[in-house]
């Protein structure tokens, strides 16, 4: 099966937009030299809620509609495995951004590397969401029908990339890296997303029988990212706040979870 070049371009541009949104996480440092832990906990809660909303109400229903639960479960497990492998490629290293000034440059590269590898599953999710591109859709872009799920997931990933960019910006600013350099490194960490999006889209389009597996894989990777990275990061940030930041986390999570639901009504 031949995939039209313009379809690949659309998917690549969607992935590029999500990657560029990572740079937005560094923009607060053009206004202030420090972002409070209270805001960080809320942002990570918001990111976790958005990703869970996109996965539970977008990817998984599409997966179950496209194929059998066995294929979906298999995809979920492989998606979790993708994130686990991504972690191990870089290495199981924990870091504390506030102590980075006492670390060396290798530590800084490691932090960027971890978050860059973690952007691959998000790119895969975007690519899989475009599986029905040109076949059906509520949005027409350059004469091409774009499926609602693609809009839903792309927007979710773009929003989630903002606190991820902030997670890169904080240690870099602590280390003395310039503001625009910080923006550049934040965007760099998201560059695997357009590449992963195109490869995932091409794969599920050429081998359409694996579509339910692909949807399950994207959902599994995203849900595991929430459990493995986003919520623990929020908990770590909030441990010195009153109530250990649970209120900020809960408010951000609920807002994030509910914020994607109107899209289902509009585009679903």
pLDDT tens, residue by residue, 95-104: 444 444 444 4
Q: Are 173 and 152 in contact (CB under 8 A)?
A: no
What is the pLDDT, as a whole number, of residue 73? 92
- How is residue 21 written in tokens? 């949104």
Query: CA nearest 229: which of 58, 57, 48?
Result: 48
- How is residue 66 written in tokens? 């496209």
Query: CA nearest 260: which of 91, 7, 58, 6?
Result: 58
C-alpha to C-alpha distance for 193 and 117, rounded to whole angstroms: 10
Half-sphere exposure of 166 (CA within 13 A, CB side): 27
What is the pLDDT, as a whole number, of residue 242? 87
Give the position of tokens 């029988």: 209
* CA atoms 125, 126, 127, 131: torsion sign: positive
What is the pLDDT, as a whole number, of residue 113? 63
- How is residue 214 written in tokens? 């692909």
Provide the whole-model pTM. Answer: 0.74
Query: Which residues make beta-bridge pairs with 140?
Result: 145
In tens, the pLDDT along 155-191 reads 888 888 887 788 778 767 766 778 888 888 888 888 8
Taking the domains of the chain in order of start, what are their residue ranges?
Answer: 5-261
**H-assigned helices in 130-245:** 148-174, 179-190, 192-206, 211-225, 231-238
Query: CA nearest 177: which of 250, 92, 105?
Result: 105
Distance from chain centroid for Cα 232: 16
Per-residue pLDDT of the chain (268 residues; tens, 9 = 90+): 577 888 899 999 999 999 999 888 888 878 777 777 888 888 888 888 888 888 888 788 878 887 888 988 998 998 888 777 766 765 555 544 444 444 445 555 555 665 666 677 788 888 888 888 876 656 776 677 888 888 888 888 888 888 778 877 876 776 677 888 888 888 888 888 899 899 888 888 877 677 788 888 888 888 888 888 778 878 888 888 888 888 988 998 998 888 777 766 655 5
Region for residue 247 given its phi and psi (left: phi exceeds 0; alpha: psi -120 to 50; beta: otherwise): alpha
What is the pLDDT, as a whole number, of residue 119? 76
Long-range contacts of 31-40 (CB under 8 A, 24+ apart): 33/173, 35/166, 35/170, 37/237, 37/238, 37/240, 37/241, 37/245, 38/238, 38/241, 38/245, 38/248, 40/163, 40/166, 40/170, 40/234, 40/237
What is the pLDDT, as a whole number, of residue 15? 92
Residue 161: helix, strand or coil by DSSP?
helix
């Amino acid at each position: 099966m031949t995939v039209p070049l313009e379809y690949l371009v659309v998917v690549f541009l969607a992935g590029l937009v999500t990657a560029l949104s990572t740079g937005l996480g560094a923009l607060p440092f053009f206004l202030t030299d420090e972002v409070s832990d209270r805001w960080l906990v809320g942002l990570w809660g918001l990111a976790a809620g958005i990703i869970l909303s996109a996965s539970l109400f977008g990817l998984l229903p599409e997966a179950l509609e496209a194929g059998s639960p066995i294929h979906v479960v298999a995809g979920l497990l492989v998606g979790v495995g993708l994130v686990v492998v991504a972690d191990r490629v870089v290495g199981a290293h924990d870091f504390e951004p506030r102590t980075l000034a006492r670390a060396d440059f290798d530590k800084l590269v490691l932090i960027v590397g971890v978050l860059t590898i973690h952007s691959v599953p998000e790119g895969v999710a975007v690519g899989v969401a475009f599986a029905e591109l040109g076949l059906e859709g509520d949005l027409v872009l350059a004469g091409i029908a774009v499926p609602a799920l693609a809009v839903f997931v792309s927007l979710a990933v773009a929003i989630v990339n903002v606190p991820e960019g902030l997670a890169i910006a904080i240690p870099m600013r602590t280390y003395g890296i310039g503001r625009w350099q910080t923006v550049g490194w934040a965007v760099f960490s998201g560059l695997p997303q357009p590449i992963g999006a195109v490869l995932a889209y091409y794969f599920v389009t050429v081998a359409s029988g694996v579509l339910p597996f692909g949807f399950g894989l994207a959902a599994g990777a995203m849900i595991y990212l929430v459990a493995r990275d986003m919520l623990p990061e929020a908990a770590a940030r909030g441990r010195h706040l009153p109530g250990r930041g649970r209120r900020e986390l809960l408010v951000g999570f609920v807002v994030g979870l509910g914020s994607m639901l109107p899209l289902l009504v509009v585009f679903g």
